Amino acid sequence: MRSFAMSCRVLRAHPSRVLKYEWKLGSRPLNAGQFDLQDETEFNIRSLSREGYGEYTCDIINEAGAGRCTFLVTGKAYPPEFFYDTYSPLWQNRPRVYGYKLQWTQMNPGAVDRIVAYRLGIRQTGQQRWWEQEIPVEGTIQTGELITYNLTELIRPEAYEVRLTPITRFGEGDSAVRMIKYSTPINPHLREFHCSFEEEPICMFTQEKTDDFDWTRHSAATRDTKYTPNTGPSSDRSGSKQGYYMYIETSRPRVEGDQARLLTPIFNVAPKSLHGPAGHAYCFNFYYHMYGKHIGTLNTFLRQKGQTSSESPVWSLSGNQGDRWRQAKVGIHPTTSFQMVFEGIRGPGIEGDIAIDDVTLEEGECRDPPPNNLRSLAPPTADHIWRLCVTLLLALFSQRR
């Protein structure tokens, strides 16, 4: 954390008297001195740690007694991190209502004072009013500890916005927001994450901090009338001009080769017993729009926690693909917690906007991949190799005849 200073100023009376000051943290003395010509004393903290949290006091003392300044100092708690692939999150599935199992971990719980509660806010999509309650926390939250809370009496099939804020004895920390929605599972083992970027929190996607520029949430209805023609989508993937999508703006000051990287939330792999010996299989599905004569490259990467090589390329496409949305399906097999990375690279000119929409992650192998000219970087399966060998043998046999 950056350094900061606390200051205490005295208003002198006439005739002037000798004044002393004492800084303390609780009952522990920190610094003491005497006012000479100055009317202010300052105490600097170079780097705040847990040992430095608490009540700081500055006593100004003369022969009549002491006046006191008080400062309450702490670091704000980090935001919680939601699990977006909670196994069987829907429960209490009655005809009119449903329940949802909300799960999260706490980011860096040991970095601040103990979290004593969470403030839960929930509101139905499209409504203004938040309903709030506090969730008490017993004991100290450990790093990586999974916390569960059941949301009840949600109206089918309405979607809800959920806000979660950690609370310490010094106040509220940073909040995290997510959307939850009712969906009828195709089978009891299927789990799905879907984001169409319709809500401002954009499903907890985040921008990479070390790239050159950011992805932008946009809709055709709100697009600047001065936008570059002959590039970018005229609607979202569903055809709605009011619908939102994410895109990279390649106009100045962007230059060729600039990168913008967008990260999905972090997902935890499902229990191994659900997958069998084949391992953890997921289908990463999204729609892309790459229209313009200066289109650069759209890459996707699999980023796994704790891997020596943290990112693996799984899909890539470059160049003008026409003025329409196309679908990509990529099979991935993570072995630990993971997230997906979208990387848009600016091409040689301003007519190079790239857009994505309707991002989905489903448990299981991809079914019916879309017929397009995308270049997948995923390793070939045994079935693909077998089919290729059969095709080659048949071709050789035909030539001999």
Helical segments of 206-336, H only: none
Alpha carbon distance 182, 156 (integer Å): 7
Q: Which residues contact 72 (CB under 8 A, 6 or more apart)?
A: 54, 55, 56, 170
Report in angstroms the alpha-carbon separations of 193 from 211, 288, 351.
25, 17, 32
Q: Which residues contact 386 (CB under 8 A, 6 or more apart)?
A: none
Q: In this structure, are residues 260 and 215 in contact, taking their beta carbons and an 8 Å threshold? A: yes
Q: In this structure, are residues 339 and 264 in contact, taking their beta carbons and an 8 Å threshold? A: yes
Phi/psi at 213 (5° precision) = -160, 180
Alpha carbon distance 333, 348 (integer Å): 34
- Burial (CB < 10 A; 0-12, 13-18, 19+), residue 58, is buried
Angle at 388 between CA 384 and CA 389, to 5 degrees: 120
Nearest to 10 by CA among 71, 70, 69, 72: 69
3-state secondary structure of 60: strand
Q: Mind listing the pLDDT tens digit of every residue in the chain (401 residues)?
A: 567 888 888 876 665 677 889 999 988 999 988 887 777 888 988 877 767 878 899 998 877 778 888 887 877 888 999 987 666 677 665 678 888 889 999 988 887 888 999 999 999 988 889 999 999 999 999 988 989 998 988 988 889 999 999 999 878 899 999 988 876 543 333 356 888 888 777 877 889 989 999 999 988 877 654 456 777 798 999 888 888 999 998 888 999 999 999 999 888 776 554 444 455 789 999 999 999 999 999 999 999 876 656 789 999 999 999 999 999 999 999 888 889 999 999 999 988 899 999 999 988 889 876 554 444 444 444 544 555 555 555 555 555 54
Whole-structure pTM value: 0.49
Alpha carbon distance 390, 395 (integer Å): 9
Show the tokens assigned to 45.
């903290």
Domains of the chain, CATH where assigned: 4-73 (2.60.40.10), 76-184 (2.60.40.10), 194-401 (2.60.120.200)
DSSP 285-317: EEEEEE-STT--EEEEEEEETT-SS-EEEEEEE
Alpha carbon distance 273, 271 (integer Å): 5
Show the tokens assigned to 90.
């829907």
